[in-house]
Structure 1
Amino acid sequence: MEDIIKTDSNILSELEADAATDVDSMISDDIEVSDSESLQEDELQSGFLPLPSGRALSLQETYDVMASENTAVIVLVGPSGCGKTTIESTIYQLFQREKLENHLFAGSKTIQGYEDRSFYTRINSRQEIATTPRTSRGVQEIFLHLRLFNEDKKQIANYLFADLSGEEIQAHIANVGSLAKQMPFLKNADSITVILDGERLANKYRRNGVIEEASTMIRTIFDAGLYSVSTKVQLVISKFDIISASDDSTISCFIEDKIKELQSLITRYIKNVTVHEVAAMPHDSSFTVGFGLESLLSSWDYEPRYLHSSPQYEFDEPIDSEFNKLFYKLRGTTHE
């Protein structure tokens, strides 16, 4: 009997030790961060959950966002240095100050991605001039994410900005087959935003090249069939403060004429084209930071891509079934 009691006591001690171990593991403060795109079996078995990195998203990682809520996909295209990344990062930073027009900040999955791009625009970077790093060609994590609440529409929507490098776009200019193969996601874009470099437009020796490059880029995208009937196009003149400060009296007429030509080209394919003048990080103090970006953000507002009308049916005269009789009773009438 004493042996049995001792055995039971040993078992009890082992169970208490196991329980203590389980409690220790449950309250452990260790957090494991994984950069892998999918959960590995060993991570699941160990009880660790990989946390999102906060960096820009890959194309595959955008699927969860698009499947969960209304999402607008915006692709900014233009040569290197035209201001694509500056526009994207400035919009993010403006929300740290106040709401933008009728939009409230409701979250982001790519805070670290925005912070990486925004650092050199801030005082603590100790730079004399605000700049943003160039987007590296070939990087797979290219989508920046904002979740916004539209006060007018009482609607939450996600905004995914494709932060493509200028070299990546230029590598496919005038090559329809190559662009269609390498960037098929362009067809799913709600907005294609073409950036015209205002600094180059202000230079009379370079301005014609800006328009020619944009025209070729637009033709390549649309001839590749990378659009739908609901696609919107924004023609954005960046660094507008430099144009405004220019002494060239012919620049305004030149830009006006060339913008009309680009609009005429685009409307051969789609009808929704808008023009915007922006100065995201102006050097001219008479321009506020983010000049023109509120209007641009509104042009990106989420809209359903496909509108389905309910089919209309014709029914025969109602049959005197028990269902119909109940309907007429509830309505307070009788059916002859």
Structure 2
Amino acid sequence: MKQIVVVGLAISWLAACSGGGGTDAGVVSSPVQVASNQAASTAPATAPTPTDENAASDAGRALTLPSSGVMPGEGATRLALGNNHTCALRDGSISCWGSDLYGQVEPPPTILDASDIAAGDQNTCAVDAFNLTCWGIDGLDVYPVSHPIAVATLGFHVCVIDADGLRCLRGTDDDGQLDVPADLVNPTQVATGLAHTCALDDNGVHCWGSNDYGESSVPSLEEPRAIAAGGNFSCAIDAAGVTCWGNNQFGQLDVPSMVDPVSIAAGFANACAVDRYGVRCWGNDDYGQSDVPALVEPVSVVAGAHHTCAVE
């Protein structure tokens, strides 16, 4: 039986389940796709949390399993972790719990057979065969899509890959994070940070938007196969292992030694990866989000603002 282990926000909860996290168990993309982090620069004095409003009162709720609906222990195939809320997807049905300040844990009934889900600061998005639907702090928005394969949001902007390519459809564009490069070729993964976006296509990794900390300055990579975007940093898995670049205020670029990493995730100021020997997390640990508990054969990892989930 697979089990999702959740850590962070000063308390830990365990939920037995059969299924996966992030995206499919095995490779996560940021929270949702790499789901799923090198240049240090001047950084803020605290972890880059977009919205701390009522964080203390919402902390426990993000980790407490829902009393009804789709339970991670009952076969969830996707997990999405936001600021202080969590969502699970099973058989096309969505269940969310945690902070509901802006209705981010209340999926609208118009979503039909959802195939992917992503959680941002105070918002949630899901895709079905016809639409990208987002709800939460910015209200309810529905965008037509065609055969989507991935959706990503971490802060306030949302991007989706469908039959027409990669599009960023919702959120602020103050730093150009919505301005998808025209030369992308067959993008397969997308990851969003607070104000930057990264994509993996046939030619490698591309990042755009904010570059205040070097988070959009992609280093040389060899055959990259997975990406993640955190608050002000980015990560990739390639033939050489895990490489992270951007803001290193909390050590989120200090990647530990790993063997054959297969899954990566980035939170606001920490990152985690799964390799041959288990889950490794590094960076900010103010809420215990980088304190990895004992795990048995973990296969994927998902990171939120202040909490982390691993599937074993």
| Length-normalised TM-score, structure 2 | 0.26
**Larger relative CO (CA 8 A, sep 6+): 1 or 2?**
2
Q: Which structure features the higher share of strand residues?
A: 2
TM-score, normalization by structure 1: 0.25
Structure with more of its chain in helix, by fraction: 1
